[in-house]
Amino acid sequence: MASPPTPQVLEDEIEFTAIRAQGAGGQNVNKVSSAIHLRYDIPASSLPDAIKERLLALGDQRITNEGVVVIKAQTTRSQEQNRVESIERLQALVDSVATPPKPRKATKPTKSSQRKRLDSKTTRGDVKKLRGKVSGGE
């Protein structure tokens, strides 16, 4: 059974901003805006509703409360390479939620595992009882 193809992120729904990169880079880093800030509005996107819901439910720090994905790419000195990398990272985020999680099947614990659990609780309780104050024999 083949899974359905992952929806592609459309580039016209992405907002790019060129910013100056942080960190070391000599004099070039102070003059050239080579880092890319990518903003992608999930609710306004053309992604299927199921994928939008799973994206918004993610606990990812790159997704704001308004549902906007913010990705900053600054690993290379080329603005175009940073732009491509930011799109790849956004697509990877969408791909991670593209397949729905398998529903969990509830199972009952076996009799022996229940017995083991209760035995270990009894043993632990006995150990803790021994920690109490010793009642005097005098």
In angstroms, the CA 94 to CA 85 distance is 14
pLDDT reading at 2 higher than 70: no
Instruction: Tell me what pLDDT residue 18 has.
Output: 87
Average pLDDT, integer, range 124-130: 93
Cβ neighbours of residue 89 closer than 8 Å, sequence gap 6 or more: 38, 71, 73
63-115 pLDDT, tens digit each: 889 889 999 998 888 889 999 999 999 999 989 888 888 899 999 999 999 99
pLDDT reading at 17 higher than 90: no
**136 or 41, which is more confident?**
41
pLDDT band at 22 (very low <50, low <70, confident <90, very high): confident
In angstroms, the CA 72 to CA 83 distance is 9
Domains of the chain with CATH codes: 11-96 (3.30.160.20)
